[in-house]
Amino acid sequence: MKVEAYIENTYIKKLDGCHPIDQTVLASLKAIPWQNWFQTWLEALASQIQISDSYELSLRLNSDREIQVLNFQYRQQNKPTDVLAFAALETEIVKPENTEEPLYLGDIVISLDTAAHQASDLGHSLVTEVAWLASHGFLHLLGWDHPDEIKLQKMLSQQANLLKLIDITDLY
């Protein structure tokens, strides 16, 4: 199984040197092995989703201002949020017939502004928070949801498991 993760880090590049996020932290965000992380997560969840040999998704790291526009446009909530996931496959996942193309899962958008505040409030690194949010968005792309407390706890537990797989253990 292969994953092609197209990562759009335009926000990080644009704000180098003028955003309150430390340059060392920005460098660590740029160095995250996203494709490896998503590959690891797909392999761990393969028994639940094995319908294609390869997958594709996009990830965008941006600002509160940009995510607020998306949140209003798609969820009618005129406020920033930490992560949005736009699943390409909102219904049953159907295996593509006779194609070499990867199955497109959708887009994950993360606000670095909100992630930085949450990381500070929770006492862990920005990289840990961004990984947590990426795993949350990723599960949404795969059809996970949390309409009630029981499903939310199950999803949060799965996120913690995914982070352990990539050696992120400083959640709390």
Q: pLDDT higher for 50 or 48? A: 48
Q: What is the pTM of this model?
A: 0.85
Query: What does the DSSP 8-state code read for residue 123?
Result: T
- Concatenating the DSSP letter of every residue in 15-60 gives HTTTSSS-HHHHHHHHT--HHHHHHHHHHHTHHHH-S-SEEEEEEE
The pLDDT of residue 99 is 67
Separation of alpha carbons 134 and 41, rounded Å: 11
User: Is the pLDDT confidence value at 7 over 60?
Assistant: no
User: Is the pLDDT confidence value at 94 over 70?
Assistant: no
Q: What's the average model confidence in pLDDT over 71-81?
A: 96
Q: Which residues is 106 bridged to in the sheet?
A: 57, 87
The pLDDT of residue 28 is 82
Full set of structural domains in the chain with CATH: 2-165 (3.40.390.30)
On the 0-12 / 13-18 / 19+ scale of CB atoms within 10 A, 131 is buried
For helices 34-44 and 126-141, give the axis angle rounded to 10 degrees: 50
Query: In the chain, how many H helices and how many E strands?
Result: 8, 4
Q: pLDDT higher for 18 or 145? A: 145
What count of residues does the chain have?
A: 172
